[in-house]
A and B are shown apart, each in its own frame.
Chain A
Amino acid sequence: MLIPGISSPLYEKRKGVYPKAVDGFFRRFKWAIMAVTLAIYWITPWIRWDRGPYAPDQAVLIDLANRRFYMFDIEIWPHEFYYVAGLLIMAGIGLFLVTSAVGRAWCGYACPQTVWTDLFQHIERFIDGDRNAQIRLANAPWGPAKLARRLTKWSVWLLIAFMTGGAWIFYFADAPTLQHQFWTGVAAPVAYFTVALLTATTFLLGGFLREQVCIYMCPWPRIQAAMLDEKSLTVTYKHWRGEKRGSLKKAEAQPGEFGDCIDCNQCVAVCPTGIDIREGSQVGCITCALCIDACDKVMEQVGRPRGLIDYCTEEDAEAEQKGAAPRPVLRTLLRPRTIAYFMAWSAVGVAMLFALGARTRVDISAQQDRNPIFVRLSDGTIRNAYTVKIRNMEARPRPMEISVDGLPGAQLWTDATAREQAGRTLSTTVPADSVARLRVFVAMPGEGDTRQDFHFAVRALDKEGGDNREPARFERPE
């Protein structure tokens, strides 16, 4: 597709990426992280956690239907959603922290797109063979052998994608129950839809779109590009050491003319996003460090020091070019910027922990009837009505007592009792982990101020106790 006067095409066919298998420190590190992250993802919903008879026993559960979020000993109600906001803020600042300390480590190691792509590529190598075999197969015409390999590979991918999508729903309902429902066909339609959708996206993103997600879809590489500074760790090709590139033969023929890079292209061959790191830092580099492993191996074979491609900051790169000795990489971790991020990150965390520890488990709210505000009863007293809600956030039913504070002579009763049973206090048992709604009538003598401020008070009557107050107002006709 060419427009006259413009030389390059508007659209570009995707270049195939067939990363070569590699072994080394970072590859092993990536295996470990993949194992840990996948294990967390698949195992978490199956952890049981005893919360007594009135609450679910799943350790991590996002119970959307009942509007509760459980995480081990923490239970979050919808009105406490700011904890979730706090977690998101921590995740955001955490990414800033990680980026300023170790660069795009999230992209290279922990991002689900990276982990699943890595897993899918490993399967690809298992079925199709390594890089060269894959390229041969990709260029081969379609025939029974190619079709068989493709179908095998896609089936395995689909299976993993299905397990990925399937695991997601277990975070939102009791996992063993939902699994049974899922296989017997009685789970909610949204469960099947979610599994189908996530299976499709996992299959597509992990199997086919891969580095295209990082380069064209994900906003994070752009944000990170803006966050990196001269003190951030990036995977760096030390061109001052490597250039001018030349094969071993050439180097032997003309000693002193060539640098350490023997132009073996191994760094390009192993790259999961198909870039050439020797062109410098770029948006396609997710800093997975596999090229470091590949290069180190080659340097070892040709008897040159490792680290021609290595983690390095821009600042150190400049210093090294001027002849300074390489500085320890971890030094970059401690500097004002990372410390500031860490302080902000931990401040949010500590504030949330404090709020979590201090939050009340008994709460009361009272809303006065506005229409009519007051009712004159036949004996001349004035009655106001309130919708009182008592919140019991413990996972057991609790006896509670409601009283009024600052309204002497008030009679209290509810829509469930007659006025003859009115008293100074009301007693009720609030069911476990729920809100009790009471319509409370308050009667006072007909003569008095047109407005009287008072408090509704609630007190738990069991031995753990706990109380709370809510301001309210009693009104009379003028």
Chain B
Amino acid sequence: MADDNKPKIDAATGTEIKHHEWDGIQELDTPLPRWWLWSLYATIVFAIGYTIAYPAWPLIDDATQGVLGWSSRGALEKELAAREAQVAPIRKAIAQTPIQDLPAHPQLMQAAIEGGRSAFRVHCVQCHGSGAAGSKGYPNLNDDDWLWGGDLMAIEKTITDGVRNPDHDDTRQSLMPAFGKDQLLQAAQVDDVVAYVRTISHQDRANAASQRGAAIFADNCAICHGPDGKGSRELGAPDLTDAIWLFGGDTGSIHDTVWNSRHGVMPRWDDKLDKTTIRMLAIYVHSLGGGEATPAVAQAQAGQ
């Protein structure tokens, strides 16, 4: 082993050969350039400076904070604040423009739709679903059937004041009597009026029961749902002739509705959200595919 300490020199290069060998292949011990060593020292110096400047060394329940005071939370807050400042003028413009005039500003509309989309995912999906398609008792906001109106102003009003909020005077309010439970109609009369509703919605052909039901309908239901059953948005009375049923259009469901009545509640949002967010929500819901033109705008267009 004494020989191992003697340097072996490669004849061709004059460089020392390392004392190991793999299948006859040996390694030259070529010296590294000295500037390479200096760059190693430079990175060490940089690393020391870095750990002083930035949070680095773990302590028992904390870590060194670094003299620059940087933190990832702080960086996030800064970015969020910058983003807020960036969108502030757009939010302001959305809030200040009358909602019926906003469709004339495509960029504001686009911003409002995106803002409304994210607010919807936080506040509305619990009942209306992530795609706003609703479920039994919770309206589908994608379709073209609106209980209280589908123009921007009407939607904004519904979101602001809610539906059947007990402690709020401005809330959307309608009250269908429980015709069966409260014995306003007899059981047979309820059956007849259900049969009638089935015919005006084109689900059943006219029959004896439905003909009897027509008269009962005219006396008890037409005051809100209209003589032809097309409903009334002023009263929040649904259109009974279309294909959309909030609580189901089969005989059993309609019977249940007439017997017990239905009183769906939507919270008011003006005490939870700011006006701009509510406005953006209204614009988003309006954009889902069923939005209607505001009456004033629609009239102006018709006049042209």
Q: Which residues from chain A sit less than 8 Å from chain B, CB to CB?
A: 5-14, 209, 212, 216, 279-280, 369-372, 375-380, 383, 385, 415, 418-419, 441, 446
Question: Mind listing 27 A-B residue pairs with CB under 8 Å?
Answer: A6-B7, A7-B16, A8-B15, A8-B31, A10-B31, A11-B33, A11-B34, A11-B37, A12-B32, A14-B35, A212-B35, A216-B33, A370-B131, A371-B131, A371-B133, A375-B133, A375-B289, A375-B290, A376-B143, A376-B243, A377-B290, A378-B242, A380-B243, A383-B142, A383-B289, A419-B144, A446-B243
Whether, in the assembled complex, B22 has its beta carbon less than 8 Å from a beta carbon of chain A, the answer is no
CB closest chain-A residue, reference B32:
A11
Shortest CB-to-CB span from B264 to chain A, Å, is: 18
User: Which 5 residue pairs across A and B have the least CB separation, nearest first?
Assistant: A371-B131, A378-B242, A372-B133, A12-B31, A380-B243
- Total CB contacts across the A-B interface at under 8 A: 83
B156 CB contacts on chain A under 8 angstroms: none
Contact between chains at A14 and B33 (CB < 8 Å): yes
What is the interface of chain B mostly: helix, strand, loop, or mixed? loop
Contact between chains at B131 and A372 (CB < 8 Å): yes
A376 CB contacts on chain B under 8 angstroms: 140, 143, 243-244
Whether, in the assembled complex, B97 has its beta carbon less than 8 Å from a beta carbon of chain A, the answer is no
Contact status of A378 and B289, CB under 8 A, knowing A11-B31, A12-B31, A14-B35:
no
A12 CB contacts on chain B under 8 angstroms: 31-34
A212 CB contacts on chain B under 8 angstroms: 33, 35
Contact between chains at B33 and A375 (CB < 8 Å): no
CB closest chain-A residue, reference B140:
A375
Shortest CB-to-CB span from B121 to chain A, Å, is: 11
Taken together as a complex, chains A and B put the C-alpha atoms of A12 and B140 apart, in Å, by 78
B interface residues, how many (CB within 8 angstroms):
31
CB closest chain-B residue, reference A416:
B106
CB closest chain-B residue, reference A383:
B289
Shortest CB-to-CB span from B272 to chain A, Å, is: 25
CB closest chain-B residue, reference A381:
B243
CB closest chain-B residue, reference A279:
B12
Whether, in the assembled complex, B191 has its beta carbon less than 8 Å from a beta carbon of chain A, the answer is no
Taken together as a complex, chains A and B put the C-alpha atoms of A370 and B129 apart, in Å, by 13
A375 CB contacts on chain B under 8 angstroms: 133, 140, 142-143, 289-290
CB closest chain-A residue, reference B16:
A8
A13 CB contacts on chain B under 8 angstroms: 34
Taken together as a complex, chains A and B put the C-alpha atoms of A316 and B12 apart, in Å, by 22
Contact between chains at A9 and B31 (CB < 8 Å): yes
B16 CB contacts on chain A under 8 angstroms: 6-8
Shortest CB-to-CB span from B140 to chain A, Å, is: 7
Taken together as a complex, chains A and B put the C-alpha atoms of A11 and B129 apart, in Å, by 69
A5 CB contacts on chain B under 8 angstroms: 5
Taken together as a complex, chains A and B put the C-alpha atoms of A212 and B12 apart, in Å, by 21
CB closest chain-A residue, reference B293:
A418
7 additional A-B pairs beyond A7-B16, A11-B32, A212-B35, beta carbons within 8 Å, are A10-B31, A11-B37, A14-B34, A280-B12, A369-B131, A377-B143, A377-B145
Q: For chain B residues 27-65, which have a beta carbon within 8 Å of chain A? A: 29, 31-37
Pick from A6, A14, A377, A418 the residue with the most CB of B within 10 Å: A377
CB closest chain-A residue, reference B130:
A371
Whether, in the assembled complex, B161 has its beta carbon less than 8 Å from a beta carbon of chain A, the answer is no
Taken together as a complex, chains A and B put the C-alpha atoms of A419 and B12 apart, in Å, by 87
Taken together as a complex, chains A and B put the C-alpha atoms of A13 and B7 apart, in Å, by 21
Contact status of A7 and B7, CB under 8 A, knowing A372-B131, A379-B243:
yes
Shortest CB-to-CB span from A451 to chain B, Å, is: 19
B5 CB contacts on chain A under 8 angstroms: 5
Contact status of A8 and B140, CB under 8 A, knowing A212-B35, A375-B133:
no
CB closest chain-A residue, reference B131:
A371
Contact between chains at B289 and A10 (CB < 8 Å): no
B289 CB contacts on chain A under 8 angstroms: 375, 383, 385, 415, 441
Shortest CB-to-CB span from A236 to chain B, Å, is: 16
CB closest chain-A residue, reference B132:
A372
